Chains A and B, each alone.
Chain A
Amino acid sequence: MNQEILIQLKHISKSFDGETILNGIDLDIHDKEFITFLGPSGCGKTTTLRIIGGFETPDEGDVIFDGKRINDIPAYQRHINTVFQKYALFPHLNVFENIAFGLRLKHTPEQEIVRQVKDMLALVNLKGFERRKIATLSGGQQQRVAIARALINRPKVLLLDEPLGALDLKLRKDMQVELKNMQKQTGITFIYVTHDQEEALSMSDTVVVMADGCIQQIGTPTDIYNEPINAFVADFIGESNILDGTMPEDFRASFAGHVFECLDSGFAKGDAVDIVIRPEDVDVVAPEVGMLRGQVSGVTFKGDYYEIIVDVCGFKWMIETSDYVAPDATIGLHIEPDAIHVMKKSKYSNMFGDYSSFSEEFDELSDAEAEEVEE
């Protein structure tokens, strides 16, 4: 990322009715970047977006846009446009007039409006929809109109607040690709808010993981996935086995009753740490050659792989393997040094346990509980 910085958030704080929503956010957003705010409900990602859009004023801190402080500039004077969560299309106007809305306010000549709206409709694949009423459009089509209505104003930045949340899975996947293409084509900075980690990883140049009104980690999707900074990020992005461990010396990690070789160094001798191992990074081997030995307690067929839960001395691991393993079988586990990721202890360290009570349902339940705790 070598483009210049377009937006700077400097120590932004915001609370509603005495409840802190944002707590000292510092962030640089580069020009032509696709940046995603990712986090669970209530983490403050939408508020951050609304502060950039001009719909909320921060209690503390500054918003710098193109080198100028814009805290007090109202939304309608910012070169920023928004695609709203539920589109907020004007129900009394047809598709054409919705898209032309911004241009009409600038008293653009009619011919020019017609031309630009046509271009926009082509860009969002809605040719011929000019005269349609908003109410007659499907969710996906409304989504496209909302994007066109924002993009036609040639904003420097486009804010997207969970724009795909209301669409079904298939459509969402298609739109992800399209949005990414549009962003490349137009060169506009996209600031995208979502709670869907897959969406964030597949579309973004930069992912900003947020929780509890604070930024947890900023990085490229691969960084975020491979080098999570703490237990929260590790758990929120993908599946992770998070274990308590110590660092007896550099390049050695001790956990699950075994000392492993690893690639991490720089910790004090005997430092307590969190160890993250992704389910796909554990190899299933014969019990006698494994570094660890455990008993299979659950097997779920996932199509191209099996997801198995393995009990190793009471800690349940989740492992993805392409070979079938029988339930109750005893297997060995082999972990390469580069599969072990060592993190410093954080306030999230013991919030995410093993997979002992794992089921899809439980997963959702515990998410909901986590949200309550945050609120």
Chain B
Amino acid sequence: MTRTSSKPPARKRAPSFATLAVAPHTVWMVLFIIAPLLFVAYYAFTDANGTPTLSNILALGDHTETFFLSVSMAVIATFLCLVIGYPLAYFIAKLSPRAQKIVILLVMLPMWMNLLIRTYSMMAILDDGGFLNNFLMRLGFDPVHIVGTAPAVVFGMVYNFLPYMVLPIHSVISKMDNRYIEAAGDLGCNGWQTLFRVVLPLSTSGIISGITMVFVPSISTFYISQKLGGGTFDLIGDTIERQFQNPATYNVGAAISLVMMILILISMAIMNRFSDDEGTVIV
């Protein structure tokens, strides 16, 4: 390759052409991505009459408990997804290529079904008069009260978002060069040592994306807590949703959303930094 031919020639065409092609998208982004976010900030710092105020932000103190509950539930759900999902991804990667294809397909399919449907079907099964309790009673057991408890909400999150954890991890593990594993064995690692000293560190990037892909929807959900929490659990998502039922509380809702968004951005930035550093150290 000579130096000149290595320059992508297409880029040499009139720059106005590129600008023209990108223009509709850019305008759209400014109008409907950037402007709305500015509106969130605007509403968060004004009252219902548009007067600047900090009262919405200060009112967040009333929701400390909700924030705490949401964060802890999302963290627990994410942790469970990792603990359940990592071995699953690892085991799937050990299957024959044909079997892997089928199983991954099966793991993925539920992601394409509407979250409402999945959550609702889960509720229908776990409900006091639902399938599971009918089944238990027929076997002579006492019915179990599940819907309306914290574990039910966490379970709903895990059920809905587990595939988001499994897929990125599996994708990293299955692409991993098998020679690393052979080398580890050659150097005297047993199965577990290979897993913890080689495979796990090498799949950090998959774990990180899995964690974010589970954590973000978990912390912002409102449907899962509404259905499986039986209305007794108020998470951030529920609170935001409620504020937007009534124009008078838009401003408080915007403030809560803004804070949640910033929280998520910060945690993602930390994760990203973490994964990048890990990446460079390992590779």
Interface residues, chain A, with chain B CB atoms under 8 Å away: 16, 21, 41-47, 50, 55-56, 85, 161-162, 195, 375
In the complex, whether B12 has a CB less than 8 A from a CB of chain A is yes
A45 to B9, CA, bound (A): 16
In the complex, whether B7 has a CB less than 8 A from a CB of chain A is yes
Residue of chain A at shortest CB distance from B7: A16
A56 to B5, CA, bound (A): 11
Across the interface, do A42 and B9 meet the contact criterion of CB distance under 8 Å?
no
Q: List 6 A-B contacts (CB under 8 A).
A: A16-B7, A41-B2, A42-B3, A43-B2, A44-B4, A56-B12
Q: Which A residues are in CB contact (< 8 Å) with B4?
A: 16, 21, 42, 44, 46-47, 50, 56
A44 to B12, CA, bound (A): 17
* B contacts with A, residue count (CB < 8 A): 8
Across the interface, do B12 and A41 meet the contact criterion of CB distance under 8 Å?
no
B1-23 toward A: CB 8 Å interface, digit per residue (1/0)? 11111010100100000000000
Q: Nearest 7 CB-CB pairs, A to B?
A: A47-B4, A42-B3, A46-B2, A46-B5, A46-B4, A41-B2, A55-B9
Q: Which A residues are in CB contact (< 8 Å) with B2?
A: 41-43, 45-46, 162, 195
Residue of chain A at shortest CB distance from B1: A41
| Interface of chain B: mostly helix, strand, loop or mixed | loop
Given A41-B2, A55-B12, 5 more A-B residue pairs with CB atoms under 8 Å apart are A21-B4, A41-B1, A46-B2, A50-B5, A195-B2
Across the interface, do A21 and B5 meet the contact criterion of CB distance under 8 Å?
no
Residue of chain B at shortest CB distance from A44: B4
- In the complex, how many angstroms separate the beta carbon of A236 from the nearest chain B beta carbon? 15
A195 to B3, CA, bound (A): 12
Instruction: Kindly identify which residue among B3, B5, B12 contacts A161, using a CB–CB cutoff of 8 Å.
Output: B5
A111 to B127, CA, bound (A): 74
Q: Which A residues are in CB contact (< 8 Å) with B7?
A: 16
Across the interface, do B3 and A85 meet the contact criterion of CB distance under 8 Å?
no
Q: Which A residues are in CB contact (< 8 Å) with B9?
A: 50, 55
Residue of chain B at shortest CB distance from A55: B9
Q: Which B residues are in CB contact (< 8 Å) with A85?
A: 1, 5
Residue of chain A at shortest CB distance from B10: A55
A43 to B3, CA, bound (A): 8
- In the complex, how many angstroms separate the beta carbon of A35 from the nearest chain B beta carbon? 17
Q: Which B residues are in CB contact (< 8 Å) with A45?
A: 2
A46 to B6, CA, bound (A): 10
- In the complex, how many angstroms separate the beta carbon of B33 from the nearest chain A beta carbon? 32
A16 to B12, CA, bound (A): 11
Residue of chain B at shortest CB distance from A165: B1
A161 to B9, CA, bound (A): 14
- In the complex, how many angstroms separate the beta carbon of B15 from the nearest chain A beta carbon? 14
Across the interface, do A375 and B3 meet the contact criterion of CB distance under 8 Å?
yes
B110-152 toward A: CB 8 Å interface, digit per residue (1/0)? 0000000000000000000000000000000000000000000
- In the complex, how many angstroms separate the beta carbon of A128 from the nearest chain B beta carbon? 33
A16 to B9, CA, bound (A): 12
Among the interface residues B1, B3, B4, which one has the most CB atoms of the partner chain A within 10 A?
A: B4
- In the complex, how many angstroms separate the beta carbon of B236 from the nearest chain A beta carbon? 49
A47 to B9, CA, bound (A): 11
A142 to B246, CA, bound (A): 67
Q: Which B residues are in CB contact (< 8 Å) with A42?
A: 2-4
A50 to B2, CA, bound (A): 12
A162 to B2, CA, bound (A): 10
A202 to B126, CA, bound (A): 82
A56 to B10, CA, bound (A): 11
Q: Which B residues are in CB contact (< 8 Å) with A195?
A: 2
A42 to B4, CA, bound (A): 7
- In the complex, how many angstroms separate the beta carbon of A193 from the nearest chain B beta carbon? 8
Among the interface residues A21, A46, A85, A161, which one has the most CB atoms of the partner chain B within 10 A?
A: A46
A263 to B105, CA, bound (A): 80
Q: Which B residues are in CB contact (< 8 Å) with A47?
A: 4
A45 to B4, CA, bound (A): 9
- In the complex, how many angstroms separate the beta carbon of B83 from the nearest chain A beta carbon? 45
Residue of chain B at shortest CB distance from A48: B4
- In the complex, how many angstroms separate the beta carbon of A372 from the nearest chain B beta carbon? 11
- In the complex, how many angstroms separate the beta carbon of A253 from the nearest chain B beta carbon? 36
A256 to B2, CA, bound (A): 38
Across the interface, do B3 and A21 meet the contact criterion of CB distance under 8 Å?
yes
8 Å CB interface, B158-189 against A: none
Residue of chain B at shortest CB distance from A375: B3
Residue of chain B at shortest CB distance from A19: B3
Q: Which B residues are in CB contact (< 8 Å) with A41?
A: 1-3
Residue of chain A at shortest CB distance from B9: A55
A14 to B7, CA, bound (A): 14
A56 to B2, CA, bound (A): 15
Among the interface residues B2, B3, B9, which one has the most CB atoms of the partner chain A within 10 A?
A: B2
- In the complex, how many angstroms separate the beta carbon of A271 from the nearest chain B beta carbon? 36
- In the complex, how many angstroms separate the beta carbon of B262 from the nearest chain A beta carbon? 39
- In the complex, how many angstroms separate the beta carbon of B169 from the nearest chain A beta carbon? 33
Q: Which B residues are in CB contact (< 8 Å) with A50?
A: 4-5, 9
- In the complex, how many angstroms separate the beta carbon of A215 from the nearest chain B beta carbon? 16
Q: Which B residues are in CB contact (< 8 Å) with A162?
A: 2
A21 to B3, CA, bound (A): 9
8 Å CB interface, B1-60 against A: 1-5, 7, 9, 12
A57 to B169, CA, bound (A): 49
Q: Which A residues are in CB contact (< 8 Å) with B5?
A: 46, 50, 85, 161
- In the complex, how many angstroms separate the beta carbon of B11 from the nearest chain A beta carbon? 11
Residue of chain A at shortest CB distance from B2: A46
A75 to B9, CA, bound (A): 13
